[in-house]
Amino acid sequence: MSVLVNEGTETAILTTLIGGTETQIVRLDVGTGTTASNFGGTILNLNFGTTDTFYRHPDAFATVVSSGTSVMGTIKAGVAGSAIYVTDLIVSVGSASNVEIGNGGTNLPLIGTLSLAANGGAIMNFRTPINTSAGSSLVYKQSANIPLSISCQGYVD
């Protein structure tokens, strides 16, 4: 049933006083067809994406690695029994280079070899995080002794 409200008819609408402002109360109906059935449950308010509240994994990390050599290096050390999940990755190089991001070693790649041009880079935001095997480190290796910067965000779980 709908309620038509015309100014001056004084049709009652259920409200509550919140912080000095009358706020309309709206109830959820989970019935079907013409059968009404009040929800009566609990709704969890997570406020994703708002400026005052956001979700952050308790084991989140952010790290920056800078290198100038072609030896294998560690972005995030492994944690026994836990995988490293990468949500965001930025890789930049000063000269043309191939960069590999691997799972404990570059022979177990997490992403394909990045062939980057001079002063080039790649920005990756993974909708579904990529992850290492449990206990493995997140590592990198580049093909040339040139400036390299890697910024990485993610979590350990």
Tell me, what's the pLDDT at 21?
A: 81
pLDDT by residue, tens only, the chain of 157 residues: 455 667 776 677 778 888 888 788 777 777 777 777 777 776 655 555 545 445 678 889 999 999 888 889 999 999 999 999 999 999 999 999 999 999 987 678 898 899 999 999 999 999 899 999 999 999 999 998 999 999 999 999 9
In a domain, 45, yes or no: no
Residue 44 is predicted with a pLDDT of: 59
- Is residue 4 one of the residues assigned to a domain? no
**Residue 1's pLDDT is what?**
43
Q: What does the pLDDT read at residue 43?
A: 63
Strands in 109-116's sheet, in edge-to-edge order, are 73-76, 138-142, 97-103, 109-116
Q: Are 81 and 134 a contacting pair, CB within 8 Å?
A: yes
Position 114 in a domain: yes
Query: Is residue 69 within 8 Å of 145, Cβ to Cβ?
Result: yes
Q: How far is Cα 20 from Cα 79, in angstroms, rounded to an integer?
A: 51
Name which of 38, 23, 139, 29 is nearest 84 in CA terms. Answer: 139
Our count of domains for the chain comes to 1
Residue 94, in any domain of the structure: yes
> Could you tell me which residues are beta bridge partners of residue 34?
none
- Residue 113 placed within a domain: yes
CB 101 within 8 A of CB 149: no
- Residue 63's contacts (CB-CB under 8 Å, 6 or more residues apart) are 75, 76, 151, 152
Q: Please indicate, yes or no, if residue 1 is contained in any of the structural domains.
A: no
Cα(132)–Cα(138) distance, rounded to whole angstroms? Answer: 7
**Are 70 and 132 within 8 A, CB to CB?**
no
Residue 96 is assigned to a structural domain of this protein: yes
Look at residue 134 in the predicted model and tell me its pLDDT: 95
The pTM of this model reads 0.64
CATH code of 77's domain: 2.60.120
What residues make up the domain containing 73? 60-156
User: Within a domain: residue 144?
Assistant: yes
